[in-house]
């Protein structure tokens, strides 16, 4: 039979591990929720081909002239673009097919819409973080309450058992 001190030590270790993993989950969720999309809006002046990955043998998507894309990132050979909700890659040699928006009023309106969309997205991310944090804290509090109840029950059982032995 395990002694009372060893039981208490095991309960403390279990509660400590639960708190550690809970804090680790909170940290990981905050990191993953903080991603933001940035880039520049460009119009496509001639038909070009985009790929699903940085490989010309991957899936192809044809982008027609006049479409608007968001150039999010670039490296030495590829441009990472967002087009119709998809992450695509365009060879940097095809970048000459991009142009600035010709109609300045339309460009301002698109920029205004993009800023508004960005605000909504950031607000949504903050709300999702708050919801996740609430869930995590509710779980941590519930685990703590259960641990305290288990401790009280085990302690009372031990007292009853030790009282009957005497």
- Residue 151 in any domain: the answer is yes
* 3-class DSSP state of 88: strand
Tokens of 156: 């009372």
When comparing pLDDT for 16 and 120, which is higher?
A: 120
Residues near 56 by Cβ (< 8 Å), separated by ≥ 6?
Answer: 91
- The C-alpha angle 103, 109, 114, rounded to 5 degrees, equals 125
Q: What is the pTM of this model?
A: 0.42
Same domain (yes/no): 26, 44: no
The per-residue DSSP string of 24-87 comes to HHHHHHHHHTT-----EEEEESS-EEEESSSSTTS-EEEE-TT-EEEEEEE-SSEEEEEETTEE
In the chain, how long is the greatest CA-to-CA distance?
94
Same domain (yes/no): 129, 89: no
Tokens of 22: 């809970």
Residue with the two structure tokens 């809970």: 22
Same domain (yes/no): 47, 83: yes
The CATH number of the domain holding residue 70 is: 2.30.30.40
- Residue 73 in any domain: the answer is yes
Q: What is the average per-residue pLDDT within 118-135?
A: 87
pLDDT tens digits along 39-92: 777 777 788 888 888 878 888 888 888 787 888 788 878 888 888 777 888 888
Same domain (yes/no): 26, 51: no
d(CA 2, CA 156): 16
> Residue length, the chain?
166
Q: Is the pLDDT of residue 34 over 50?
A: no
What domain range is 129 assigned to? 4-32+124-165
Same domain (yes/no): 52, 87: yes
- Residue 85 in any domain: the answer is yes
- Residue 25 in any domain: the answer is yes
**CB of 106 within 8 A of CB of 41?**
no
The number of distinct structural domains making up the chain is 2
- Please state which of the ranges 55-64, 87-96, 98-107, 147-156 shows the lowest mean pLDDT: 98-107
Same domain (yes/no): 47, 27: no
Same domain (yes/no): 59, 28: no
Same domain (yes/no): 95, 44: yes
Same domain (yes/no): 57, 81: yes
- Residue 65 in any domain: the answer is yes
pLDDT at 15: 75
Same domain (yes/no): 21, 73: no
Q: Is the pLDDT of residue 19 over 50?
A: yes
Return the percentage of the chain with pLDDT > 70, whole number.
Answer: 81
Same domain (yes/no): 23, 47: no
């Amino acid at each position: 039979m395990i002694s009372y001190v060893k039981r208490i030590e095991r309960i403390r270790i279990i509660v400590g591990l639960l708190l550690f993993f809970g804090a680790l989950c909170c940290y990981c969720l905050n990191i993953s929720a903080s991603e933001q999309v940035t880039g520049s809006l460009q119009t496509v002046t001639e038909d070009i081909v985009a790929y699903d990955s940085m490989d010309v043998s991957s899936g192809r998507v044809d982008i027609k002239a006049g479409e608007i894309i968001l150039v999010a990132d670039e490296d030495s050979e590829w441009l990472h673009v967002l087009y119709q909700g998809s992450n695509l890659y365009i060879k940097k040699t095809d970048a000459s097919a991009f142009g600035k928006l010709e109609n300045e009023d339309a460009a301002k309106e698109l920029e205004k819409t993009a800023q508004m969309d960005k605000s909504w997205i950031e607000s949504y991310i903050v709300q999702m973080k708050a919801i996740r944090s609430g869930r995590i804290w509710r779980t941590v509090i519930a685990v703590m309450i259960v641990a305290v109840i288990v401790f009280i029950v085990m302690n009372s059982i031990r007292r009853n058992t030790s009282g009957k032995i005497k």
